[in-house]
Amino acid sequence: YPDRLTMERAVRSAVVIAGYPWTDLAPEAVGLAFGAFTAARGDFRTAVLTAVNMGRDADTTAAVAGSLAGALHGESAIPPDWA
């Protein structure tokens, strides 16, 4: 993908279940979280913000994306101003 936004849109298009008005689908949240994490190349702040900006079940998606980035980089990945 040429940039993160293009990747984010592609992931969202592939994962979001069309016609389902509620946002509480675990497969969708996990897919969006992994997409945000991948688009952010594992960067904690970028992964969380990307997940939130994808919408849908944004709090769950951001929590999972942040957990993935934290597991990869450890506690130091959390920005000091977020702790």
Q: To which H or E segment does residue 83 belong?
A: none
Q: Are the beta carbons of 54 and 62 closer than 8 angstroms?
A: no
The response to whether 57 counts as a known ligand-binding position is yes
pLDDT of residue 59: 94
pLDDT of residue 48: 98
Angle between helices 58-73 and 44-53 (to 10 degrees): 170
Q: pTM score, two decimals?
A: 0.78
Residue 46 CB coordination number (10 Å): 17
pLDDT of residue 23: 62
The response to whether 81 counts as a known ligand-binding position is no
The response to whether 3 counts as a known ligand-binding position is no
pLDDT of residue 19: 72
Q: What is the pLDDT along the chain (83 residues), one digit of tens a residue?
A: 788 888 888 888 888 777 776 666 788 889 999 999 999 999 999 999 999 998 888 999 999 999 999 999 999 999 999 98
